[in-house]
Structure 1
Amino acid sequence: MTEGPNIPSAQVEGGHPKGGRLWRIMVVTVFLFLFAGFMGLGIWQVQRLAWKTALIERVDNRIHAAPVDAPAPDVTITRNDHEYLRVKATGRFRHDLETPVKAVTDLGPGWWIMTPLETDRGFTVLVNRGFVPAEMKLPESRPAAPEQAAVTGLLRLDEGHSGFMRDNDPAANNWYAREVKAILDARGVTGETASYFIDAQPTADTPADSYPRAGLTVVRFANSHLVYALTWFGLAGGSLFGMVLVLRERRRHRQNV
């Protein structure tokens, strides 16, 4: 029997001496790229977790702190520094300019009653006096409210529109989101106005069954960043494990050829 030529083992892979080496380099590069990407996403979620935890703690402290004077219109209001700040204001309610805004609460569907408050400090701030059921939308369906008032509540900024929320229609007086400027403009409020509104809280002498029902502000922050971080880190570890399996299977295949 005639023996074939003695081919170096390095030439068997891929038809040329460097075929096996290039294949391993490509596999390692791809899996290390995946590992780095997953680790980066995991680290980003850890950073988001720290930010969200600090935000929740900061908001919780604001909600339970002693109220401060409602910021004047010349103060720059930001979500990071002011949202859910507990504030107070005194002045005269303009009940003739109230605006009902569609609401869904733990008490069912109904309306938020948004009423301008002409403060003793010379500017107007919109106040969410609270929730009323559908049958109490009109002012005459509710007990008369005093004009002079001292309000304590949480500073809120405009609501963002979700994909399921309809756009406000000021011309038809149909309101689905609490948008300060749009509501004040529609009611013809002039002069200095605050860029935020106040979610009123009930006072100690407010009857529990009174309407508008104040104090229904929901303060809830989704915080799933730890779960996301663990998922990304798990995928990073899985990519390394996958690389080892692929290289090991390739080696086993070569040994059986």
Structure 2
Amino acid sequence: MAETLPRTRRAARVVLAGVAWLAALAILLSLGTWQMQRLAWKEKLLADIAERRTQAPAALATIEELARAGGDVDYRPLTVTGTFEHGRERHFLATFNGQSGYHVYTPLHLDDGRYVFVNRGFVPFDKKEPATRADGQIAGQHTVIGLARSKLDGKPSSLIPDNDLSKNVFYWKDLDAMAASVGIAPAYLVPFFIDADAAPNPGGLPVGGVTQFDQPNNHLQYALTWYGLALALLLVSGVYVWRWRREAA
């Protein structure tokens, strides 16, 4: 009886070790496979963006109809006409060509009474205030050609600071907060942004055409890492079993 108990315990430990080994291997392989799926998704997304950018600019109404139908409007070229309300511009902390400053988001007042926020482009820190770049504040009706940019569902990361509405400094592009901070009701707000193209500004600033197209795509590297760890687990386990059987013999 005393001899049977240690054998039972050893058998239980072997079973537990085997279950843990299988679980670890399954997790590593599933993570690698998930990254391969993410790789396929990212490659398709980048191809879709590249294809969209070559399309002719559509009317704002066409892009809005696509959005209402649940389609992806991100990076779709469009054209819209309205009047900029420069006194309501919002400032998003950003960099451009190695220089730090702001992207200037200005409400464009449409003929139907609604507003769409247009990212007019980049200004350096010392040109944050509109009075310092008065020549670039376009007056009257103006046609904007640019790319639709989707509204964010929330803060991209907890590491990003909260937007400072009192100083008009946005650390993430919260469309609802931008609109509310200048008194634009949701019913009068187009539910996405527009990034203006690189057409020269008569006053030089803001500098348009600041849309970033490069997106990180490290999923293959991550997949190879997880698969590599799974292979290492198999090799280490194989060596251990070989030594154990050799000692048992």
Q: Secondary structure at the match of 2:120?
A: strand
Counterpart CA distance in 2 for 1:101 and 1:19 is: 63
- For the structure 1 residues 199 and 40, does the alpha-carbon distance in structure 2 shift closer, same or farther, using more than 3 Å as the test? same
The 1:177–1:47 alpha-carbon spacing in structure 2 relative to 1, beyond 3 Å, is closer
Correspondence for 1:252 among 238, 246, 249: 246
For residues 183 and 20 of structure 1, do their structure 2 counterparts lie closer, same or farther at Cα, with a shift above 3 Å needed?
A: closer
Q: Is the aligned partner of 1:40 residue 2:30? A: yes
Name stretches of at least 5 consecutive residues in structure 2 with no aligned partner: none
TM-score (normalizing by structure 1): 0.79
> What 5-or-longer segments of structure 1 have no aligned partner?
1-11
Residues 107-256 of structure 1: pairs in structure 2 closer than 5 A: 107-142=98-133, 143=135, 144-158=137-151, 160-190=155-185, 192-203=188-199, 206=200, 210-255=204-249
Amino acid at match of 2:229: L
Q: Quick one: distance in 1 between partners of 2:20 and 2:159?
A: 41
Q: Residue 83 of structure 2: which of 92, 105, 116 is its match?
A: 92
Over residues 103-133 of structure 1, what are the superposed CA-to-partner deviations in whole Å (9 max), with x where a residue is unaligned? 2222512222211112245421011111112
Shift of 1:15: 5.9
**What displacement does 1:211 show?**
1.1
Q: C-alpha separation between the residues in 2 aligned to 1:42 and 1:249? A: 29
Contact 1:87 1:155 in 2 (8 A): yes
Once the two structures are aligned, what percentage of the paired residues are identical?
Answer: 31
Higher helix share: 2
When the two chains are superposed, the root-mean-square deviation of aligned CA atoms in Å is: 3.0
Give the Cα separation in 1 of the matches to 2:163 and 2:116.
20
TM-score (norm 2): 0.81
Q: Which amino acid aligns with 2:176?
A: K
Counterparts of 1:136 and 1:77, CA distance in 2? 40
Bigger Cα displacement from structure 2, 171-180 vs 40-49: 171-180
Deviation at 1:22, TM superposition (A): 6.4
Please give the alpha-carbon distance, in whole angstroms, between the structure 2 residues aligned to 1:46 and 1:95.
Answer: 46
Give the whole-Å Cα distance in 1 for the aligned partners of 2:190 and 2:145. 15
Distance 1:139 1:208 in 2: 15
SS at match of 1:129: strand
Rg larger in structure: 1
Number of aligned positions between the proteins: 240
Equivalent pair of 2:201/2:207 in contact (CA under 8 Å): no
CA contact (8 A) 2:100 2:125 kept: yes
Distance 1:77 1:106 in 2: 36
